Amino acid sequence: MPDLAYFAFLVADGALAGSIYALVALAFVVVYKASRMLNFAVGEWTMLGARTAAAASHTFGLGLGGAVAVGCAGVVALALVFNRIVLRPLLQSSLLSLIMLTLGVGILLRGAATVVFAGIPGRIASPFPLDPLVVGGVPLSVDKIVAAAIATACIAALSWFFHGSRTGLALRAVASDQQVALAVGIDLHRHYAITWALVGVLSVLAGTLWSFVSGGGFGIELLGFKVFPIVILGGLDSLPGTIIGAFAVGILESLVAGYVDPIVGGGFSHVASYLVLIATLFVRPWGLFGRPDVERV
C-alpha cells in the first residue's frame, strides 16, 4: 500500500474504533455529570451489555435487533436496580467510597458474568459481509463501518436528547448544580434513574458493536481503560469533548499501532493514549473542552 493510502487507512480505522469508544466514554460521562461519581466499572458494564445481548441471541435464537432490544431491557433493569438498591442509600456518603464501590462492582460483574453466562458464546456472529469495502484505495471492514454508523447515530440522538428535550435539560441542570436542580423542582432520584438507564442502553450498544469489530477473544471490559485518556483529553464534563476525545484516541492508537508498534515490537499503541493523558494533566488539566469554573461573584 502506498504511504498516503496506508496513512488514510490507519486514520479511518482509528476513527471507526473511536466511534465505539465514544459510546463507552459517554456512558462514563453521563454518570460523572449527574453525580460526580467516577464509574470505574464502565468496562465491565460494557462487557455485561455485550454478553447479555449475546445470550439473548443464542438462547432465544433472536436476530441482532431483537437480541439488542432484549439485552437493553435486561441491562437497563439491572442498572436501575443497582441505582435504587446500592447507590441511593449511599447518596450522602463520600465520593471516594462511591468510587471504591465501582471498583468492587467491576470485579463482581466480571466474576458473575463468567458464572451466569457459562457455556453461552460471548458474542453475536456478525451479520455483515467479511470482505472489506474499498473506498478510494483504502480497505475498510464492513463491520466497522456499520458499527461506526450506529455509534454515530447514537451520539447524535444523545446530543439531541441532552440539548433538545425537557429531560435532557433537567439532566444538565442536575449535572450543573444539584441544589439548584432541587430548588426548581427536579426529582433527583428520578433523574439518577434515567442516567443509569442510559448507561444500560449505551453498555449494550457499545458492547455489542465492539464484539463485532474486535472479533471476540479480547476482553471487552478492557475497553473501560480507553475511557480515561478520552475523558481527560476531552474534558470530564463536556459531552462534545468526550466525543472528540474518543475519535482522537482511536486515531492516535491506530497511527501508533501502524507506525511505531512495528519498530518497538508492539503494544505501544495502548501506552500512547496514556502518555497523552499525562501530558493533558500537565498542560490543561480540565481537558480540551472542559472549562475551568467560570463564575463572577
Partner 1 sequence: MLEVEDLHVSYGRIRAVQGVSLSVPEAAVVALIGANGAGKSTLLRAISGIVRPRRGAVRFRGENLVGLPVHQIVRRRVIHVPEGRGMLARMTVLENLRIGGFARRDGPSTAAGLERVFALFPVLEHRAGQLAGTLSGGEQQMLAIGRAMMAGPRLLMLDEPSLGLAPLVVREIFRIIPRLTAEGTAVLLVEQNARMALQCAAHAYVLQTGQVVLSGRGADLLATPEIQRAYLGTGEAS
164 binds partner 1 (CB under 8 A): no
Q: For residues 63 and 285, which CB has a smaller minimum distance to partner 1 in the complex?
A: 285
Of the residues 134, 184, 263, 283, which one makes contact with partner 1 according to CB under 8 A: 184
C-alpha span between 137 and 150 (Å, rounded)? 24
Residue with cell 449475546: 54
- Asked if 220 contacts 50 with a C-beta cutoff of 8 angstroms, the reply is yes
**Amino acid at residue number 254:** S
Q: CB of 177: closest distance to partner 1 in angstroms? A: 6
- Asked if 16 contacts 147 with a C-beta cutoff of 8 angstroms, the reply is yes
Of the residues 170, 199, 233, 246, which one makes contact with partner 1 according to CB under 8 A: 170
Q: Of the listed pieces 49-57, 89-97, 125-133, 174-182, which binds partner 1 according to CB under 8 A?
A: 174-182
Specify the pairing of strand 133-135 against strand 138-140. antiparallel
Q: CB of 162: closest distance to partner 1 in angstroms? A: 11
Q: For residues 3 and 293, which CB has a smaller minimum distance to partner 1 in the complex?
A: 293
Q: Of the listed pieces 107-115, 149-157, 185-193, 259-267, which binds partner 1 according to CB under 8 A?
A: 185-193
182 binds partner 1 (CB under 8 A): yes
Q: CB of 82: closest distance to partner 1 in angstroms? A: 22
SS (HEC) of 179-197: HHHHHCCCCHHHHHHHHHH
E strands, the chain, in order:
133-135, 138-140
SS (HEC) of 245-278: HHHHHHHHHHHHHHHCHHHHCCCHHHHHHHHHHH
Number of residues that bind partner 1 (CB under 8 A): 22
Q: Which residues here bind partner 1, judged by CB under 8 A?
A: 166, 169-170, 172-173, 176-177, 179-187, 291, 293-297
